[in-house]
Amino acid sequence: MKTSRMKFMKRLGFTLYCGAMITVFVLLWVKSESFLVMPASYAGPALDLKNITYQIGKDEPVPITLPAKIEGLKPYTPVTVRATVGATNNDSLRVETIYTKLHLYADDELIYECGMPGTYPEFLIDPPTIITMVALPDSDTPQELRFEYYSPSVRTTMDLPHLEYGEEAFILSDQFHKYSVSLIFSLFFFILGVVMVTAAFFYSRKTPDAAIFIQLGIFSLSVGSWSFGECPYSAFLFPHPGTLYLMSYCGLFLLMPPFLRFLELTLKTSHVIWFQTIRYILSVIIFTAFVLQLTGQASLAQNIFTYEIVISVVLVVVLIIAFIELTYYKNPSARRFITPMIIVSAAAYLSFVNYEYRFVDSIILIFQIGAFIFLLQLAVVAAQFIRDAYVTISEKAATELRLQNMNSQVIVQREQYERLVGNSEKVKAMRHDLRHQLTVIRSLNEACDTDGIRKYIDELVVGLPRTVTETYCENYAVNAVAAYYIAIAEKEGVRVDAKLDIPKNTGRVLAVDLCVIVGNLLENAIEALHRMEEPDKYIRARARIVGNALSIIIENNFDGISRKQHGTYLSRKAEGGRRSADGWRHEGIGLSSVRTVCERYGGLLQIESEDNTWRVSALLNI
């Protein structure tokens, strides 16, 4: 109970710290963002047009304040906007059309047109939103500008944007000042999405659970795509209206499925069928919307209102499920995700309202802030998840290594047992034949045949079995492993000098860990000697206890070729069948295992290479 409370307090403290840092950052930015230092050429004003009126068809002109919406229009209804611009000299006009055609006249002279058929893909139905700069004719007197729009074919509402003019640098500076935060957020979501997908793909090879963050990365990419497509300043950086239209609506339509999939996997809810049903329904709606757009039947912009309603319902259902998981099932994952879900849901609702009523200039900024906080909170969760995953991987690897070494020890002991059984059978047979041997010796002795007796005894000695196992130390397990590898070395003509002072009781150091050290070091020495062409090969093994420390030193000669990188000797052994082009690879598994054992007991591993001598020293605190 006390541990749980401490963990809760740590999480709460970290959350409050992050919240405080974000709050301080926002306050500092708000206080300083108006104190801009720009070149004089960018510091002028962007001027508004005057005497603005509009008329629908042949109706009478009516004064209007921009931006504005005109509702109840039939498809392709002509709407004319007139305004007065003052004296101009190298001035430009910021022009924005929202799914409409436009002819722009200055004193009845056509100076610009856009949205004509053939200038955009046919499947878009209406021309995409176009934001650009139009050079105004130089004039010492005021001019009348006439904007001839044609309302969209798929919407009964037509948006008339704000109009301003001035030097192009002034207008661009003003636009950047208004929309820079939204632009930076969109780029942030793009970069975060790419990093998250790449990192999750990399880690998923080691930890399959990390693949769930691919869904979160796709969600971030979708938010970035929608944000970039909707940001008015993007039109000046990327003047491709059709592509920006697709980025905007594709990002908006596609951000919910990965979001739901991520929640389904991370909440580990008992209501999986609900998430799956919602995702399937949402996928059908999205697929249908894209098919209607590609076939020219209905645009994504036309279906946006239906999609907003669906998303609103989905978010409500997901929040209800999360609250049920939290309150009824006491799901710890729900406790972790409930706050981020509430924040991103609230941001989504406010964005939909802002899309209709525009109480904030940027229609996406509110959702960007909510998504930023959402991803920031989940980044903490992701860090905890990856940390726990790495701990699990390390423990699993240590367990597998321990089992592997235990299996090797079992194999060595089995071979020793088989030799013991074989020798035992041979001794039984010789004991059975002993009376016959003694009868022969008695007969030779009675005949006073001394040479015959000596020759017969020599033949008997040759047939006697050798000692079952040489004794190198008192610790049976270590002795069996050492005897196994020393026998292999001697069979290959290697001179072995082994003195291992390792007692039966080695304190807190497990025998299996000592077998890991002795077995791997002797195996590596034999492997190194295989690459030597010189006939004189040797291995010198020493082990002794000094105070509370156990020292194990294995020395052998080798071909003198070694490579060291970042303080670590590289291996030439083709472990797992993998080897670099020049025959080298990272530190061998054997030495890595020995190093892990030494560190586990507060010791260290030291490797020395001098001329043709290789010496490895392992020190353990027993």
Q: What pLDDT, on a 0 to 100 scale, did the predictor assign at position 471?
A: 80
Q: What pLDDT, on a 0 to 100 scale, did the predictor assign at position 2?
A: 47
Predicted confidence (pLDDT) at residue 112 exceeds the cutoff of 90: yes
Predicted confidence (pLDDT) at residue 469 exceeds the cutoff of 60: no
Q: What pLDDT, on a 0 to 100 scale, did the predictor assign at position 375?
A: 81
Task: Provide the b/e sequence for 517-530 (b: ≥16 CB within 10 Å).
Answer: bbbbbbbbbbbbbe
Predicted confidence (pLDDT) at residue 85 exceeds the cutoff of 60: yes
Confidence of residue 455 (pLDDT cuts 50, 70, 90): confident
Predicted confidence (pLDDT) at residue 1 exceeds the cutoff of 50: no
**Fold agreement between 47-166 and 476-621:** no
Using only C-alpha atoms, the chain has a radius of gyration, in whole angstroms, of: 41
Query: Can you tell me the mean pLDDT for 484-498?
Result: 89
Please, what CATH class does the domain formed by 476-621 belong to?
Answer: alpha beta
Q: Which of 551, 484, 559, 567 is nearest to 527 (CA)?
A: 559
Q: Which residue has the tokens 């002991």?
A: 413
82 dihedral zone (left: phi>0; alpha: psi -120 to 50; beta): beta
What is the distance between the alpha carbons of residues 70 and 68, in angstroms, rounded to a whole number?
A: 7
More confident residue, 353 or 25: 353
Q: What pLDDT, on a 0 to 100 scale, did the predictor assign at position 480?
A: 82
Confidence of residue 109 (pLDDT cuts 50, 70, 90): very high
Q: What pLDDT, on a 0 to 100 scale, did the predictor assign at position 419?
A: 57
Q: What pLDDT, on a 0 to 100 scale, did the predictor assign at position 107?
A: 93
pTM tops 0.85, yes or no: no
Q: What pLDDT, on a 0 to 100 scale, did the predictor assign at position 593?
A: 81
Domain 47-166: which topology?
A: Jelly Rolls (2.60.120)
The SS3 call for residue 503 is: coil
Q: Which of 65, 66, 63 is nearest to 55 (CA)?
A: 63
**Helix, strand, coil in percent for the chain, rounding step 5:** 55, 15, 25
Which phi and psi (to 5°) does residue 541 adopt?
-120, 130
Is the sign of the CA dihedral 339, 344, 348, 350 positive or negative? positive
Q: What pLDDT, on a 0 to 100 scale, did the predictor assign at position 468?
A: 45
Structure tokens at 517: 């050290």
Q: Which of 425, 546, 410, 429 is nearest to 480 (CA)?
A: 410
Q: Which of 40-54, 174-188, 324-338 has the lowest mean pLDDT?
A: 40-54
Query: Can you tell me the mean pLDDT for 466-492?
Result: 80
Q: What pLDDT, on a 0 to 100 scale, did the predictor assign at position 173?
A: 86
Predicted confidence (pLDDT) at residue 119 exceeds the cutoff of 70: yes
Task: Identify whether the C-beta of residue 102 lies closer than 8 Å to the C-beta of residue 131.
Answer: no
What is the distance between the alpha carbons of residues 590 and 575, in angstroms, rounded to a whole number?
A: 10
Per-residue model confidence as pLDDT tens digits over 389-423: 666 666 666 666 666 666 665 565 556 555 555 55
Structure tokens at 338: 């409930």
Confidence of residue 229 (pLDDT cuts 50, 70, 90): very high
Per-residue model confidence as pLDDT tens digits over 2-50: 455 555 555 556 556 656 666 666 666 555 555 555 454 444 577 888 8
Q: Which of 211, 329, 220, 203 is nearest to 266 (CA)?
A: 211
Domain definitions of the chain by residue range: 47-166, 174-395, 476-621
Q: What pLDDT, on a 0 to 100 scale, did the predictor assign at position 579?
A: 46
More confident residue, 206 or 489: 489
Most confident of 239-253, 344-358, 458-472, 516-530: 239-253
Q: What pLDDT, on a 0 to 100 scale, did the predictor assign at position 41?
A: 47
Structure tokens at 579: 């080897």
Show Cβ contacts of residue 228 under 8 Å, excluding neighbours closer than 6 positions.
Answer: 183, 186, 187, 190, 234, 238, 244, 247, 248, 251
Q: What pLDDT, on a 0 to 100 scale, did the predictor assign at position 578?
A: 44
Beta pairing, strands 538-546 & 495-500: parallel
Predicted confidence (pLDDT) at residue 150 exceeds the cutoff of 60: yes
Cα dist from 100 to 60, 131, 401, whole Å: 21, 12, 69
Predicted confidence (pLDDT) at residue 551 exceeds the cutoff of 70: yes
Cα dist from 574 to 28, 332, 398, 456, 584, whole Å: 57, 45, 21, 52, 8
Confidence of residue 436 (pLDDT cuts 50, 70, 90): low
Predicted confidence (pLDDT) at residue 592 exceeds the cutoff of 60: yes
The pLDDT > 70 percentage for the chain reads: 76
What is the distance between the alpha carbons of residues 80 and 57, in angstroms, rounded to a whole number?
A: 8
Count of positions (residues) in the chain: 622
Q: What is the mean pLDDT of the chain?
A: 80
Predicted confidence (pLDDT) at residue 281 exceeds the cutoff of 80: yes
Q: Which residue has the tokens 């509402």?
A: 157
Which residue type sits at 220?
S
Identify any residues that bridge with 164 across adjacent strands, giving them in sequence order: 48, 94
